[in-house]
């Protein structure tokens, strides 16, 4: 059997969980398309870390807002032009605009839905045709424990992350016959730049609700992504994998 060089596209890969996922794929010999919204310095650090794995993949930066349809179409087209295939899509890009519902602006609601859910839809739609043609694909979306259980002050974020779950289950049913899986990872409290803005009191309160007794790291999510992306995981589709230290039980 011909040895196929796999290509992964990771959105929001400039830092945090997305960076860890991109580096994980690089360490496994994948070609990696590193999408990011605007922080060139952070994205170049991700690129550097991918190269430092010493593997034989190729890594390219793809700057752009994935809630923009034209950006998405160009991103996927460029990836196909360079690597001839896209095997894995990781919908990781996400933002927060927290606030109680009575004070949340329509703009803050729309912005979070646009990036977190619309962006994932546009990316998933764009890779579906080439994946169907090659009869192979893995679509993995990064949701959240709050997409399963909700959270006060995060109506927009929770809605977007719950939407990823429903979308992925539908994708799984549409695409399974073409050997394309669609799964979701629902992280709990993961130590990233996003959690750094929380007060110590808020962090302690969250940790108290985690049976494992501590927050997770970005590598915990990257390891779960690598598992679902593997060829050996082809009979797993439409599932939500909680990576949360038991927080979601």
Rounded Cα gap, residues 231 and 87, in angstroms: 10
**Quick one: angle between helices 155-175 and 106-113, nearest 10?**
30
Q: Are 24 and 226 in contact (CB under 8 A)?
A: yes
Rounded Cα gap, residues 98 and 105, in angstroms: 10
Rounded Cα gap, residues 249 and 112, in angstroms: 26
| Helices marked H in 86-179 | 106-113, 119-134, 145-149, 155-175
Q: One of 30, 59, 136, 157 is an active-site residue; which one? A: 157
> How many residues in total does the chain contain?
249
* 235 is known as an active-site residue: no
Rounded Cα gap, residues 249 and 234, in angstroms: 26
- Catalytic residue positions? 157
């Amino acid at each position: 059997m011909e040895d196929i060089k796999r290509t992964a596209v990771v959105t929001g890969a400039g830092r945090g969980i997305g960076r860890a996922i991109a580096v994980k794929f690089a360490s496994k010999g994948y070609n990696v398309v590193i999408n990011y919204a605007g922080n060139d310095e952070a994205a170049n650090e991700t690129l550097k870390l991918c190269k430092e794995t010493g593997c034989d993949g190729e890594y390219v930066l793809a700057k752009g807002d994935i809630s923009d349809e034209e950006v998405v179409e160009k991103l996927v087209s460029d990836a196909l032009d360079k690597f001839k295939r896209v095997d894995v899509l990781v919908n990781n890009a996400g933002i927060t605009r927290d606030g109680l519902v009575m004070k949340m602006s329509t703009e803050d609601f729309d912005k979070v839905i646009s990036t977190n859910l619309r962006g994932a839809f546009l990316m998933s739609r764009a890779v579906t045709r080439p994946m169907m043609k090659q009869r192979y694909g893995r679509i993995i979306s990064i949701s959240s424990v709050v997409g399963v259980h909700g959270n006060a002050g995060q109506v927009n974020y929770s809605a977007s992350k719950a939407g990823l779950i429903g979308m992925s289950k539908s994708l799984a049913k549409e695409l399974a016959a073409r050997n394309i899986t669609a799964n979701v990872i629902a992280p709990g409290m993961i130590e990233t730049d996003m959690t750094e803005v929380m007060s110590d009191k808020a962090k302690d309160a969250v940790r108290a609700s985690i049976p494992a007794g501590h927050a997770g790291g970005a590598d915990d999510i990257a390891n779960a992504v690598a598992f679902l992306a593997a060829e050996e995981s082809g009979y797993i589709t439409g599932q939500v994998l909680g990576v949360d230290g038991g927080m979601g039980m």
